Amino acid sequence: MTRPIVGIIGNHHLINDTYQVHAGGVMNTEAVSCVSGCLPMLIASDPRYVNVAELLEACDGFVLTGGRPNVHPEEYGEAETPAHGAFDRNRDAITLPLVRACVERGQPFLGICRGFQEVNVAMGGSLYPEIRDLPGRMNHRMPPDGTLEEKFALRHKVRFTEGGPFHRLMGAQEVMTNTLHGQGIKQPGARIVIDGYAPDGTPEAIYVEGAKGFTMSVQWHPEWDAANDPVSRPLFTAFGQAVHDWAARKSGRVLKSA
């Protein structure tokens, strides 16, 4: 049987500072294929080449990946400053309406890092340009040195709301995660529920209240070692099940109990 398709949001990238590509991390592809059990498809996130209506029909679910460029502050009513870093307006033009359409349709998505921030902005929320500049906050950015294993190492706890969806999914109210981000949620968007926080008060886990589909999103990077990590695996497994359920309903098939 053909696996359901998960669209993985790609990022604009330059190879050798000259050759333009749309790129996605292999760890995202691996997590979607090997843990979620879905067919990964990289999306060229540019409205010149794709549109939201096409993506909704072509894919059964979406992974909103991390990426170095940030959501442009104009998307949440603020002026651009040097602290906001680099941007990808083409990705903004695809992902923000895509999130809102998925919420309305009940189509599943999983937001990761920038994707987590996109979900908040899409629902009317705002972002801090630099978390580490806020009083009492830790530096959540990727360590500048070390191997990939060291950069993605577990660095802080995340505590979930007791009895909330993340607590129920993980089977624990407190977990350890990596952290590789500069920005973070300032004002939650409409229907955005913050379900998990880092020890310094930074929001780390959200979902969209009342949404018919899977909308869990996290500020950390669960795609790293997703098949083995006890926090990442249940997240990608649950997302995969939601995508399979969506695909089954779309095709008119009746799901059978295992």
The string of DSSP codes covering 18-79 is TEEEEE--HHHHHIIIIIS--EEEEE---TTT--HHHHHHH-SEEEE---SSBPPGGGGT--
Largest distance between two CA atoms of the chain: 54
| Domains of the chain, earliest start first | 5-251 (3.40.50.880)
Q: Is 117 helix (H, G, I), strand (E, B) or coil?
A: helix
Q: What is the mean pLDDT of residues 147-152?
A: 89
Between 254 and 234, whose confidence is greater?
Answer: 234
For residue 220, is pLDDT > 80? yes
pLDDT score recorded for residue 253: 53
Comparing C-alpha atoms, which of 227, 135, 140 is closest to residue 183? 140
For helices 89-105 and 114-122, the axis angle rounded to 10 degrees is 60
- 164: pLDDT confidence band, cut at 50, 70 and 90? very high
Which residues form the catalytic set? 113, 221, 223
pLDDT in tens, 70-127: 999 999 999 998 888 889 999 999 999 999 999 999 999 999 999 999 999 999 999 9
**Residue % of the chain over a pLDDT of 90:** 86
Q: 1: pLDDT confidence band, cut at 50, 70 and 90?
A: low
Binned at pLDDT 50, 70 and 90, residue 251 comes out as confident
Does residue 63 have a pLDDT over 80? yes
pLDDT band at 254 (very low <50, low <70, confident <90, very high): very low
pLDDT confidence tier of residue 143, bands split at 50, 70 and 90: confident
Segment 242-256 shows an average pLDDT of 81
